Amino acid sequence: MTQDSISPKKPLNVQWQGLIGIGVGILVLVIILGLLRWRRDGLPVDPAELEMSASTPCMVQAISAATVGGKPITYSQLDKLKAQCGQ
């Protein structure tokens, strides 16, 4: 092979490299935050936070109905109850 037959690769534009890096960073951040949200939704709510959430009669009734049988409320259930009661 001669020097003329080998064509060097043109490097990727610096702006494109920066945009790709930003895109990958945002994707990683979204994945991490999504995993944290998914983990949070399965955790039981603290009793103190349940007391703070029971600020309206609708929430008091919804929380007492959801805790019948001693089963703890998870954060995802609390979010649904808040949406039902308009909070």
Q: What 3-state DSSP class applies to 8?
A: coil
Domain ranges of the chain: 14-43, 45-86
Largest Cα separation within the chain, whole Å, is: 84
What pLDDT sits at residue 15? 87
Closest-CA residue to 54 (of 63, 45, 44): 63
Q: What is the pLDDT along the chain (87 residues), one digit of tens a residue?
A: 555 567 677 777 888 889 999 999 999 999 999 999 999 998 999 989 888 888 889 999 998 888 888 888 999 999 999 999 887
Residue 42 DSSP symbol: T
What pLDDT sits at residue 1? 53
- In angstroms, how far is the first alpha carbon of the chain from the final one? 73
